[in-house]
Each structure stands twice: as C-alpha cells, then as structure tokens.
Structure 1
Amino acid sequence: MKVLNRVLLGSAVGFCVVTSANAADLPSVKSAPVEYVRVCSEAGQGFFYLPGSDTCVQIGGRVRADTAYIQTNSRNNDAVNFSASARINLDVRTNTPYGLARAYLRYNLGRADGNYGDGFNNGTTGTSNYGGLDLAYIQFAGLTAGRIQSFFDFYANNYNFATIRNSDVNTQVLAYTANFGGGWSLTLGIEDGSERRVYSDNSYLRSYGIASAGQSVPDVVGALLVEQDWGSAQLSAALHQIRPVYVTGVDGYYHDTKYGFAVHGGVKFNLSSLAPGSELWIEGAYADGAIGYLGAGSYGFTQGGVALPMTDAFIDANGRMKKAKGWSAMVDLLHYWTPSVRQNIFASYMQLEYGRGGYTTYSLPELGTFNVGFVDANEWRIGSNIIWSPIKNFDIGAEVLYTRLDPKNRVLSDNAKGGFKAISSDDSWQGRLRVQRDF
C-alpha cells in the first residue's frame, strides 16, 4: 500500500511540473486598457470628457406635465386643457488658445390641447403633437451664430408658467460680444426679423393692414450688459424692417419700405439678504413700428369674446403708411420661503396706439357706438405661482393669472349666449398646475 501511495504521489508531482512548464511556453494574453469616462469639473456640474478627446459634454433635459383651467367665452372652447412636453439638450465645450469653443443644442417635443397656451379663448379644440428645434448655436471667441435667445431680451418669462408681456423670442442670429472686464459686455449683431413681424392684413373702412414682403434687411440688435454681485442690468435696442408687398385696388399707391425701432431697459436685483435665491426683476420697452419687441404677436389681443388685431404698420384712409407705437413694462419678485418652497409674484402692462386713422366708428341701434379695426388698447396681466421642490430639480407648482383688456371706447364682443354686443373692457382668469423634472 505504501508503494502504491508513493507511485501516485510521484505521478501527481510530475504532472504539475510538466503542466507548469508547458504553461510557461504559452503566449501571454492581456486585456485591452479600458478608457474610463472622466469628470470635466472645469466646464461645470454634469460635464464629462468624451473618451479620447479634450472635449467636455453635458447631457440634460426635462419632462413637464401641465394642467390648466382657462375661462372661456364659448362652449366650443376647451376650458380644461392638458399638455405634456419633453426637452433634450446637449452642451459641448472645448478649451482652445482662442478661448472656449461651444456648441449647444436643444430640442422640444410635446402634445397639448389646442386651447392650451399663452392666449385666452382662441377658439380651438382637440389635441395635437408638436416638436422642433428650439436652440442650436455655436460660440467662439466672442462670436455667436445660430438659433438662440434674442440678445434684446432680458427677463424673457423666466419664472412664470403662462406668458406675460415682455420680449421673449428665440431667433437666428449672427453676433459678436466684446467683454470689457468687471462684468461689462457689449453685443452687436443681426437677427432674423421674420421672427419679430407682427402683421395683420384685415381690412376696414378707414384703414387696412399690410401683408409682409420678403425680408431684405435683418434686424440690427445691440445690448449693453453689466453683471455684478448685486445683480445685473441691460440696455438694448433694435432696428426692424417693415416691408409690405405691392398693394393695388385700395389706394393705388406703392408703399415703400420703412423701419421701426425698439428700446429696452431692465434690471435684476439679487435679494439674498431677504432670502437666499430671491430676486427682483424690473424692465420696460418702447417701440415704434416694432411691437414684437414689446411681447405683441400676430394673434392680437384676445380676451373673452374680444379679438383685436395687432400690426407693426397699417395704411390709413389717405393711403399713408402709419406705424403702431406702444410700450410695455413688467415686474417679477421671486422669493424663497424655505429652501424648497418659492413663490413668484408678477405683472405686466402693454399699451398700443394706432391713432384715429387706425379704426372705424360704427353706430347701430341694437349695439350703440363701437370701434372696429386697429383700436388703441391696453392690457394688464397679474399673477402668482408657488412651487415646492421636494428634491433637487423636481418641481410641483400651481399658478393663477388674471388678465384685463381695455380698448379705446367700446368694441364688439362675440357673446356665445347672446350674440354680438359692444363692451368697453373684458377680463378672465386662468389657473395652471405643473409637475416638472429636470435632469
């Protein structure tokens, strides 16, 4: 038995020696090195290096769900409205000897009820999908090219859910920004004027609107900005082309190109002494033939059963082109009651003036006297929202907004129950609930 054990043990030792020798003769196989994603802290939070490059990228976006009640004037309009939207954005940055080279992309998708949006009682129902390119621009050595928030804008509806009257337009630009140090910068550029056109071709007895011809001169925009510890302030101005098509059959005249302009001033105060994160925004703008820079739009003043057109310019009864004039102002107070609960209180006012040549006065036995056409008017929007953020980048909020429209004298209102009537003002309420997750 001892002999058998010695034989087996010797065989095992010999097998191990031979196996080890043969294994030593085999070629060594090593795993390829793994290139891990590295954090790019110098570009900001959420950036990482693209593997194999010195370029940093941030991927972000949001998902938003809104429910709104909008006071309507007709059974044909949706009073309860829903909206669901998504946003994806990419921010790509590379440090170069000339400074930062940046490319930014933002794409929006959504589905909403037809009567959901900025206006009131616009007479649409049903649900539709929407989507498209929201922002896409390149910045390099002071140059900005692509689609971006207009350099004329300042507050731009930062914190309110519904829209109030202030300039808030994403448009195509080619601009240069000079930084002077100490928080001062000056931007000069050209922007796509078609994004700012406010035209109506409705015709009336004493005046008629103009239809837009093709753009031959872009809008020229300049903005002086200062950013300090106390907040920021901006002065901006824009030159806007008014180019009507050839008009025949009304006055027999050819209406040549004219130019309008807009000027703006705004200031933001950081109210950290009141509560960390609190802010106060105040701004105002004046326009002559460029009312899109006030927050006006071709949808006009729509309030209850009142629908008043808006236009940059019109032709009066004497065949002369007249430009609309107006001004707008807004204020927004953002206050943090706690680190997770904040409230906004905001208001806007806009006034448009066309003059006596812009409208026609009628008098009917059943309605009395009223104006039709491009009627002088002013509008108030006042509202507030409160938002709870139980975790970072997650908001649950509610907002209420009151709007009042005051046209000059009386205008026609389409009362769904009693037909047309002449009224001197109209108002309405709306409320919104919002759930939003940013990432």
Structure 2
Amino acid sequence: MTLAKRLLLGSAAAVVATTGAQAADLGLPVAPAVDYVQICSIGSFTGFILPGSDVCFDISGFARAQADFGVANTGSYYDYDDVDFSSEVELNFDARTMTEWGLLRGFIRLGESDEGEDYNLDVVKAFVQIGGFTAGLTDSFFDPVYTDYAMAGIGAPDGGTDDLTLFGYSYAVGNGVTLMASVEDNDGNGRFGGIAAVDPVAGNIYQGGAAVAVGTAFTTGAGTTINNIQDTENGLAFVAAIRVDQAWGSAKLAGAITEVDIDNSTLAALNAAMGSTVTDDTELGWAISASAEFNLPVGVDSEFGIFGIYTDGAVSYAGVGTGITAPGASAAWADLSLDAVVDTTTGNLQTTEAWALGAGVEFGLNAMTDLEIDGYYADVDHGDAIGAVGDYNVWAVRSSIAYRPVSGLELRAGVGYTDYDVNSALDPYFDSGFTGRFRVTRSF
C-alpha cells in the first residue's frame, strides 16, 4: 500500500471516529452495530447462526421432476404400457447445539410427491437427539447399512423401510463400534404384513373382503367386508443392533422382536361370516439382518454393499411386499406378503417365513458421473395352511446412471426388471416386467 493511501485511509478513519464522538456528545442518534449472520461448524456439520441465537442451523432439500415408464409382460389383466409424470419436493431443517450432555439436535423433514393433483407437504422425519438418545419419527434401528444404490421404484423392493416413531439409544464403545437398542412403533408404517384367513379346502384367501383365487366375496350380516385381521394398535417392536464403522466401510448386525396378534372384533366377524370357530391366538414375530458396505479403491467414491435378512412372522422386515388385484367388478385384492395366516378349518395361526438377499455396486466414473447396479432376491413361505395358493419368490435387477453437470443439479436415468414366481392361479395377476425412470433433481 502506498504512503498516500495510508494517509488517506488514516484521515478518513479519524474523521469517522471524531464525527461519532461529536454526535454522541450532542445527543444525536447513533446507528447501532450490525449483528451479522455467522457461519458455524460442529464436527463435519456446517450451518449458520442467526443474530441473537446460539443454535447452529441449516436448511437443505431438493425439487424434482420425474417420468416413469412401466411395461408389464405377464397376464392380460396387466397388459399395459404406462407413462406417468410426477414431481417431488423435500425440505430439511437441522438445528444443533453443543451442551454439557452432548450434542443436542432437532431435525424435521417435510416432503411430498404428486402426479399433478393435490399437493400437501407431509412430515417425513421429526426427531430429537441428545447425546446417544434418539426420540421421534426416523429410520428404524433395524435398517441395514446398505439397501440400494439404483433408484428405488424401478425393479423390486429392497431391505429398506418406511420411517417410524421410536425411542432409542446408541452407545459408542470405541474404535468405531456402536451398540444400539430401541423400542419402535410398527403401527401404520408398513412394518405389519397383515393376517389373512385361509380356507385350504376351497383354496381361498380371505382378505380385503374377498375370496381370491376361487370363490366369491363375502361380508358380515351388516354388509361390512372383512379386511386384515391383525391387531396393530399396540404393535411395538424391540430392536437391538451392533454397528462397526471403519476406514474400509461399515457393517451391521440387527435383530427385531414383535407380536403377531389377531384382532378380536374382526375375528368375531370372520367366524360369523365363515361359520368357523377360529380362536384368539398370539405368536412371536422376529427378524434378523446382516449387512455391510465396503469402500472400493477404484473410480471416484465407489462402494459395494450387501445384505441378508431372515424373518418369521415379520415378513415386511425382509423388504418384500406386493398387492394382487384379482379381475372382477369389485376389484377385490389380496396381499400375499402376510405376517401369518389363519386356517379356518383348524383355527391355527401360522407365521410366515421369508428371507431376502441383496447386493449392489456404485461406481464413480468421474467427479460428475456414477453408475449403480443392484440385484435382489426374496422367498416367502406361508406354511401349510396357505400352501400352493400364495407362496412366491421374487427377483430383480436394476441399474441407473447419474450425471451432475454443475453443483446442485443431477440428471438420472434407470431401468429395472422384476419377476414374480407365484405357486397359484394368481400368478398372471402379479405385475412382473420392465420399468424405467428419468429424473431431474435440483438440490440445495
């Protein structure tokens, strides 16, 4: 800096200081000091602090447009070519503060997808964390560390779950090892597979008010259809897990215990309509999973993931789930992803066994482009009561490629194939075939 500039700046500073002092002496108003928004960091989390607050806050989300292409190739009832346009939005609000009890965090996620009709933001996540304690609507502690890399919705389901409300605690043992335990609410979040009544003699599955496969719909005397007969009002699950995070990646072993119970009021309607004598029964449902994700020393941020899940009386923990729409004016349906079935001839409640395997790779071609490939297989066995009427297996492969030409913008295209093998006359009504998707996402 030249001497002239130094003298000029020094003179200006002196004038400003003198003017402020004179204004104060004369009783004139002086502009208050400006309190600016500040940048903050807590660990790897970076946010901002608003004036007058000590909370490190961040807002993120995305806006998305999507086109789905579906081509079903089994059965005339599902013989269609379909194209659907939809949009999706997500907003995340994350607030963190360090306290003497550890990190205090509050997180809210609002999101919704729509196909051009009503559009309302729903609460997707809402939880509080203090130290190792977590309470609220969030991911299940059972969830594997890997579920999928390619776009969900193209191909088969995976090992992931819907968000649910839980109270849980995580304890960091050290060296990247964490012990986890939680009590979770399975009601209304897709964790219940349901219970159906089965007449093995006629070969009928009674659910959704209809006898599917053969037979006709039935109702109670008041004309009310008989739906799922599972009691979900007190549906709690107890989950325990151990997780390891190292430089090579992550691994997790998790288990869950829940209850499979018949709803008494629906059971009475079932017996009245069927002339059966099914009694109240309760069984134990459980699930166990092992999963791992490995960092690959090739490409850019490449990873390989794998999971295995086995369930008994808790089929949705395996990630399977499908509905069958039987032909007819009433559009009767049955869901063969059941936690249990009731034999109307014997009254026995039999839990469903299911297992699933999944693996995938995400390969970073460069800093802007990556390729994802996933494979999935699951087998569902409903036991002797349902027999050949409803047992099935499903396998799928799917792939997608993502391109990010500029920061915050992603273009992604994917295709998947799903195949169901059903041991019954319902096989033509499973929606097997190819699906495709193109997606544009602006993240912030």
1:225 is the counterpart of 2:252? no
**Cα gap change, 1:304 to 1:390, in 2 (>3 Å):** farther
Aligned twin of 2:391: 376
Deviation at 1:41, TM superposition (A): 2.4
Q: AA paired with 1:88?
A: L
The C-alpha deviation readout for 1:183-230, integer Å capped at 9, x for no partner, is 110111100121311115465435656512243351001111000000
Aligned twin of 1:350: 378
**Cα gap change, 1:282 to 1:304, in 2 (>3 Å):** farther
Query: Using the alignment, how far apart are the partners of 1:430 and 1:76 within structure 2?
Result: 13
Q: AA paired with 1:258?
A: E
Aligned twin of 2:439: 434
User: Is the CA contact 1:135–1:147 (under 8 Å) kept in the aligned structure 2?
Assistant: yes
Aligned twin of 1:168: 161
User: Is the CA contact 1:160–1:346 (under 8 Å) kept in the aligned structure 2?
Assistant: no
Q: AA paired with 1:176?
A: Y
1:40 is the counterpart of 2:44? no
Deviation at 1:330, TM superposition (A): 0.7
Aligned twin of 1:312: 339
Query: Using the alignment, how far apart are the partners of 1:349 and 1:319 within structure 2?
Result: 32
**Cα gap change, 1:263 to 1:182, in 2 (>3 Å):** same
TM-score by length of 1: 0.80
1:394 is the counterpart of 2:409? yes
Query: Using the alignment, how far apart are the partners of 1:265 and 1:97 within structure 2?
Result: 35
**Is the partner of 1:274 in helix, strand or coil?**
coil
Deviation at 1:142, TM superposition (A): 0.9
Aligned twin of 2:282: 257
1:199 is the counterpart of 2:194? yes
Query: Using the alignment, how far apart are the partners of 1:34 and 1:388 within structure 2?
Result: 42
Q: AA paired with 2:70?
A: I
Deviation at 1:243, TM superposition (A): 1.6
User: Is the CA contact 1:303–1:428 (under 8 Å) kept in the aligned structure 2?
Assistant: no
Aligned twin of 1:31: 31
TM-score by length of 2: 0.79
User: Is the CA contact 1:291–1:326 (under 8 Å) kept in the aligned structure 2?
Assistant: yes
Aligned twin of 2:87: 84
Aligned twin of 2:262: 244
User: Is the CA contact 1:285–1:327 (under 8 Å) kept in the aligned structure 2?
Assistant: yes
Q: AA paired with 1:146?
A: G
Query: Using the alignment, how far apart are the partners of 2:361 and 2:424 within structure 1?
Result: 33
User: Is the CA contact 1:64–1:434 (under 8 Å) kept in the aligned structure 2?
Assistant: yes
Residues 413-428 of structure 1: pairs in structure 2 closer than 5 A: 413=428, 427-428=432-433
**Cα gap change, 1:214 to 1:342, in 2 (>3 Å):** closer
1:97 is the counterpart of 2:112? no
Residues 149-160 of structure 1: pairs in structure 2 closer than 5 A: 149-154=139-144, 155-160=146-151
Query: Using the alignment, how far apart are the partners of 1:225 and 1:159 within structure 2?
Result: 24
**In the alignment, which of 320, 323, 326 is matched to residue 300 of structure 1?**
323
Aligned twin of 2:176: 183
Identity %: 29
Deviation at 1:339, TM superposition (A): 1.1
Deviation at 1:319, TM superposition (A): 1.1
**Cα gap change, 1:77 to 1:240, in 2 (>3 Å):** farther
**Is the partner of 1:254 in helix, strand or coil?**
coil
Query: Using the alignment, how far apart are the partners of 2:325 and 2:356 within structure 1?
Result: 17
Query: Using the alignment, how far apart are the partners of 2:44 and 2:326 within structure 1?
Result: 44
Aligned twin of 1:18: none
**In the alignment, which of 301, 305, 308 is matched to residue 281 of structure 1?**
305
Q: AA paired with 2:410?
A: D
**Is the partner of 1:413 in helix, strand or coil?**
helix
1:268 is the counterpart of 2:293? yes
- Count matched residues: 380
Deviation at 1:409, TM superposition (A): 5.5
User: Is the CA contact 2:198–2:385 (under 8 Å) kept in the aligned structure 1?
Assistant: no
What RMSD over aligned residues (CA atoms) do the two structures have, in Å? Answer: 2.7
Aligned twin of 1:135: 125
User: Is the CA contact 1:304–1:428 (under 8 Å) kept in the aligned structure 2?
Assistant: no
User: Is the CA contact 1:165–1:350 (under 8 Å) kept in the aligned structure 2?
Assistant: no
User: Is the CA contact 2:149–2:374 (under 8 Å) kept in the aligned structure 1?
Assistant: no
Q: AA paired with 1:133?
A: V
Larger mean CA deviation between 339-348 and 426-435 belongs to 426-435
**Is the partner of 2:161 in helix, strand or coil?**
coil
